[in-house]
């Protein structure tokens, strides 16, 4: 499978960061790998996350674990203290600004390893995750290497399962290979969650702390602009827990939509055309409804656009329901898809509105309150 990257190598232009990369080095020769874990109020997941790391086939004496805690108000710190007693390689550092971008830069500054991996506290990792990331980064001279999400339900409810199934489908996530998967290794615009050489991160200035959201995408965009390449290897999979109910799912997608346009305020290139599709879709509906008051033809255009959306939504729903051999998703999946698209579209419109106002009006990943 990985031999297919030879073709991609010939097609990709070798950039500055790539040409300066060290030659492929056996994993055993890396003296230390730093895992950076941004964290806030993760009492439900932090233990599972750490347990999966310590069950890794990567040698523990080659690991440094930096948990960057955004002043958790639950039992997260108590759980971390218990783990520190058993595993002295864990260090807990404060992140008073409560931003993921700030957390990653704190981790970068304190990391002692030659390589840095971002670890999401809301996820669990297979035994070979770390070794595969390090191996892929060095083997293919990539500037960033990672895998795909295996999107898991936030709990055991049918609603949570429907949300997870929707997010893993192209109708909800487009060509975001990190979510919908890929059949073979490929160069991409992002990978979950990221493995870099520390020196490369330092050369591009780390994470943009002005961005409460989309900071990873911004970093990847600057990485590619500097000549780097991002390797997505589908053999590297991470279990990521999605939202468990439609309320949190709406808020999550609304905030992601805001950052799809609001990043322009910071002159960031942390966006792709697929991120604006829900906003364009929503504008087409609003525009044709408004124009229908002046000409009936636009009412027909509105019905055509909405009807086409409903048909595609139902087709995706039927496909997934048939695959899962369950009729319970026939009602839940259409709603999961609709919330994904409309919440993201409304958020993107709101972010575009904020662009016209002086000052900063949206801070953090989900808004002003962190």
Query: Residue 31's pLDDT is what?
Result: 67
Confidence of residue 366 (pLDDT cuts 50, 70, 90): low
Number of helices and strands in the chain (H, E) = 15, 9
Query: Per-residue confidence at 25, pLDDT binned at 50, 70, 90?
Result: very low
Better pLDDT: 234 or 106: 106
Q: Is 138 exposed, middle or buried (0-12, 13-18, 19+ CB in 10 A)?
A: buried
Q: Is the pLDDT of residue 289 over 70?
A: yes
Q: What does the alpha-carbon distance between residue 30 and residue 12 come to, in Å, rounded to a whole number?
A: 27
Task: Look at residue 30 in the predicted model and tell me its pLDDT.
Answer: 53
Q: Are strands 33-39 and 123-124 parallel, antiparallel or unpaired?
A: unpaired
pLDDT(16) > 50? no
Look at the domain 2-15+30-244 and name its fold: Spore Coat Polysaccharide Biosynthesis Protein SpsA; Chain A (3.90.550)
Residue extent(s) of CATH 3.90.550.10 domains in the chain: 2-15+30-244
Q: What is the pTM of this model?
A: 0.79
- On the question of pLDDT at 177 being above 90, the answer is no
Please enumerate in sequence order all residues whose Cβ is within 8 A of that of 294, keeping only pairs 6 or more positions apart, or say none: none
Q: Which of 151, 181, 187 is nearest to 166 (CA)?
A: 151
Q: What pLDDT band is residue 352 in, cutting at 50, 70 and 90?
A: very high
The separation between the first and the last C-alpha atoms of the chain, rounded to the nearest angstrom, is: 43
Q: Which residue has the tokens 């369950």?
A: 326
Work out the average pLDDT over 58-63.
89
3-state class of 300 per DSSP?
Answer: helix
- What's the mean pLDDT in 148-176? 92
In contact, 121 and 210? CB cutoff 8 Å: no
Dihedral sign, Cα of residue 323, residue 328, residue 329, residue 334: positive
DSSP string, 166-209: HHTSHHHHTT-HHHH--SS-EE-S--BS-EEEHHHHHHTTS--T
Can you tell me the mean pLDDT for 158-169? 96
């Amino acid at each position: 499978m990985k031999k297919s990257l030879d073709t991609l190598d010939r097609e990709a232009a070798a950039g500055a960061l790539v040409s300066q990369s060290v030659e492929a080095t056996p994993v055993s020769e890396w003296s230390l790998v730093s895992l950076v874990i941004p964290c806030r109020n993760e009492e439900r997941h932090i233990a599972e996350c750490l347990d999966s790391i310590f069950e890794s086939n990567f040698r523990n004496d080659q690991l440094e674990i930096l948990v960057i805690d955004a002043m958790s108000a639950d039992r997260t710190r108590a759980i971390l203290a218990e783990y520190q007693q058993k595993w002295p390689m864990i260090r807990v550092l404060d992140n008073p600004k409560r931003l993921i971008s700030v957390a990653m830069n704190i981790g970068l500054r304190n990391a002692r390893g030659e390589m840095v991996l971002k670890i999401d506290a809301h996820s669990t990792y297979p035994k070979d995750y770390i070794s595969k990331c390090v191996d892929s980064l060095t083997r293919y001279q990539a500037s960033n290497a990672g895998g795909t999400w295996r999107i898991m339900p936030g709990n055991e409810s049918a609603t949570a399962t429907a949300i997870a199934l929707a997010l893993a489908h192209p109708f909800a996530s487009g060509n975001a290979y990190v979510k919908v998967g890929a059949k073979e290794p490929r160069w991409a615009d992002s990978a979950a969650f990221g493995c870099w050489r520390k020196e490369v991160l330092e050369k591009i200035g780390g994470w943009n702390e002005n961005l409460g959201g989309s900071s990873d995408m911004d970093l990847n965009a600057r990485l590619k602009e500097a000549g780097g390449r991002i390797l997505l290897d589908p053999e590297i999979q991470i279990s990521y827990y999605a939202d468990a109910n439609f309320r949190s799912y709406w808020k999550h997608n609304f905030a992601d939509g805001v950052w799809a346009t609001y990043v322009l305020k910071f002159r960031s290139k942390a966006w792709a055309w697929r991120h604006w599709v829900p906003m364009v879709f929503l504008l087409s509906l609003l525009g044709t409804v408004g124009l229908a008051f002046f000409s009936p033809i636009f009412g027909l255009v509105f019905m055509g656009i909405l009807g086409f959306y409903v048909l595609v939504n139902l087709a995706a729903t039927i496909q997934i329901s048939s695959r899962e051999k369950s009729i319970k998703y026939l009602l839940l999946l259409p709603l999961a898809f609709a919330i994904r698209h409309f919440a993201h579209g409304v958020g993107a419109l709101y972010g575009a509105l904020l662009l016209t106002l002086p000052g900063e009006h949206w801070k953090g990943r989900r808004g002003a309150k962190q």
